[in-house]
Structure 1
Amino acid sequence: MSYEEVVDAVIKMGLEKYRADQLLDWIYKKRVFAFEGMTNLSREHRALFREKFVLRLPKLLEKKVSKIDKTTKFLYELEDGNTIESVLLFHEGYATACISTQVGCPLRCSFCATGQSGFVRNLTVGEIVGQVLAIENDSKRNIRNVVYMGMGEPFLNYDNVVKSLRILVHPKMKNVGVRRITVSTVGIPEKIVKFADEGLEVRLAISLHAASNEKRDVLVPLNRKYSIEEILQAAKVYQEKTNRRVTIEYILIKEFNDFDEDARRLARALKDLKAFVNLIPVNPTNGEFEKPSQWKMNRFKEILLENGIEAELRQEKGADIEAACGQLRLKNLRAKS
């Protein structure tokens, strides 16, 4: 529920508005998910809230912790028995929650384990926000950074994603800083343009992964519907409306999209866009793709920098626990079959 919906419900119970703030403070700040523990509310108020509201976190089925960098992967079960993944990533001085927006994914990108398990349904607003609260509850950490980069395509669950963002940034709810949230999309032009008008100042990342349509068609089947040119044009409109820099995600695959000409072509494609390129070594989920050598990845980055494009090579996280999107869920599904 949005802040306004909670306030409206509380007022309709005949209670003062500030009772809504008390309730939300217990949930989002104190991480108390049982009404009995909300001790500054009377027994009568707690009984009313029990009647009106349901507080439920996704059930933790499995947790894996990397011995390399403490990256933690969570497999959660939803009310209907479906499972989703979330990941807690550790950086110097802070941690980031990587959350999912769909059960599975319909886009079937060839390098991604999530697509291999098929698509079931969109997540509800509560299931999206609930992942952040569940990660906090499991890790005993206050999450201040969130990336919508888990299972699923956020813009195919557009309304629920936008509402969840408003909940996460609301000062009376999770109160995450807008600059600390990133939404990653494979690139749906009309939704990118629409997102620019939402008034949310969160970061936008576009999963491009190739500099030519021929190669992107192989990696991202949706590219046959929305070309690189259409996606980047939408990104320019987004930038004109928001004045925000766009992050370009680019998975590097050995002897496929890691050639010098790929780097030069990518630089040309991005020359009119204020963009930052995040270079990601492929996580070999199906044995088909391999990551390039360190020299090759560094070379790709240098060509982008030489052509005026900001770029960084992302440090791998959780390699020993199969931390890439969908791997743990896929393993769980195969074990059941």
Structure 2
Amino acid sequence: MENLIRTYSLDQLAAITAEAGQPRFRAKQLYEWLHKHHALSYEEMTNLPKAFRDYLESRYLLPAVTVINRQVSQDGTRKYVLQLSDGALIETVGIPSRNDQRLTVCVSSQVGCPMACQFCATGKEGFTRNLNADEITNQITVVERDFQQPVSNVVVMGQGEPFLNYENLLMALKEINNSQSFNIGARHITVSTCGILEGIEKFAKEPFQFTLAISLHSAIQSDRDSLMPRVKSQPLDKLKQSLQAYIDHTNRRITFEYLLIKGINDSNLHLAALKAYASDLLCHINLLSVNNVDGSPFKPPAPETVNHWSNELNKVGIETTIRHSKGADIDGACGQLKNKLI
């Protein structure tokens, strides 16, 4: 989007300022509003003359975002339904650590999602459009302002498949990582994909140490195809080749996200397949139990099953962590985002 003002450099803002007949120092003020204060509207830029703000608003886009619903979980997680300038709705989740020293934001990259994963509420909503870079980073601003503390970690694991919105995603990640902006370290920024091979190959070549996560959910092709039908064209053998190439090129560890579903992908056969798939990759596995979602036939496995999987994977040298979903009571946990207003 050519006139998205947050994408302009300081020199470009200086040229805009000159065109508007404003003194040069206004460019620095404008830059700080955009990248230091993360202004969500021109109205917030109170030290800029109104005439200059009106000039900017008529020519350069600063996408609006409005919180139309906010829910707070018993565990402190907060879920937001945000309305964008065209009326589209997305969801964002703020997740504080137990000691409140860290604040993680789960951001969306698309309005809806085209991947139609069977266990995901967003997938049932269908796909509307990609988010631009501002609409991605504005989610962080909303959470920072509400919690009144800086965000320490960002996970692109909300609505949408990030690698199907690659250019806008990368633009947003650079802003999040920028020392003059959000200043969040690259290793504290994670992008989760269903396994879009082209995106993985591009991501490997980026000069940043962002973390790559793969939504795996089964290492048996037929079962993965049933759970994630739109990823059939990205088969497991080719995915593994792409991941090995990524590891070889970056020397960075990948993360597998594995959502355990009772009677679907939690058998000993599935465990053996995962061991075989991950054993020779530089990886870490996050095990999660599927959440109960209204209208979904999928149910979480017994805690003993989850513990068994974790023990068995760790026993063979595959580093594994059991992740406990937060915000389930407000439909804010993994797989539950679906713009349900309460």
TM-score, with structure 2 as normaliser? 0.89
2:257 corresponds to 1:254: no
% identical aligned pairs:
39
| TM superposition shift of 1:50 | 4.8
Q: What is the aligned partner in structure 1 of residue 133 from structure 2?
A: 125
2:155 corresponds to 1:147: yes
Q: What is the aligned partner in structure 1 of residue 9 from structure 2?
A: 6
Cα distance in 1 for residues equivalent to 2:83 and 2:48 = 31
Structure 1 pair 82–49 and aligned structure 2 pair: CA distance change class (3 A)? closer
- The number of residue pairs the alignment matches comes to 332
Q: Tell whether the 8 Å contact from 2:195 to 2:214 is kept in structure 1 after alignment.
A: yes
Deviation per CA, 1:31-81, whole angstroms, max 9, x where unpaired? 5445565466567765654555444441111111102x1111100111221
Deviation per CA, 1:260-292, whole angstroms, max 9, x where unpaired? 232222111112210000001101223311101
2:340 corresponds to 1:331: yes
Deviation per CA, 1:234-268, whole angstroms, max 9, x where unpaired? 01111111111000000001122112232222111
2:202 aligned to which of 194, 198, 204: 194
1:25 aligned to which of 32, 52, 56: 32
Cα distance in 1 for residues equivalent to 2:302 and 2:264 = 13
Where structure 2 has 5 or more consecutive residues not aligned to the other structure, the ranges are: none
Q: What pairs up with 1:205-224 in 2 under 5 angstroms?
A: 205-224=213-232
Cα distance in 2 for residues equivalent to 1:17 and 1:158 = 34
Structure 1 pair 180–21 and aligned structure 2 pair: CA distance change class (3 A)? farther
| TM superposition shift of 1:26 | 2.9
Deviation per CA, 1:180-200, whole angstroms, max 9, x where unpaired? 100000001121011111212
Q: What is the aligned partner in structure 2 of residue 310 from structure 1?
A: 319
| TM superposition shift of 1:147 | 0.6
Q: What is the aligned partner in structure 1 of residue 286 from structure 2?
A: 278
RMSD between superposed Cα atoms in Å? 2.4
Where structure 1 has 5 or more consecutive residues not aligned to the other structure, the ranges are: none
Q: Tell me, what secondary structure is at the counterpart of 1:283? A: coil
Q: What pairs up with 1:232-243 in 2 under 5 angstroms?
A: 232-243=240-251
1:158 aligned to which of 162, 166, 181: 166
Q: Counterpart of 1:77 in structure 2: which amino acid?
A: Q
Q: What is the aligned partner in structure 1 of residue 296 from structure 2?
A: 287
Q: What is the aligned partner in structure 2 of residue 65 from structure 1?
A: 72
Q: Tell me, what secondary structure is at the counterpart of 1:216? A: helix
Cα distance in 2 for residues equivalent to 1:34 and 1:262 = 50
Cα distance in 2 for residues equivalent to 1:102 and 1:32 = 21
Q: Counterpart of 2:77 in structure 1: which amino acid?
A: T
Q: Counterpart of 1:155 in structure 2: which amino acid?
A: F
TM-score, with structure 1 as normaliser? 0.90
Moved more, 303-312 or 52-61: 52-61
For CA contacts below 8 A with separation 6 or more, give which structure has more relative contact order: 1
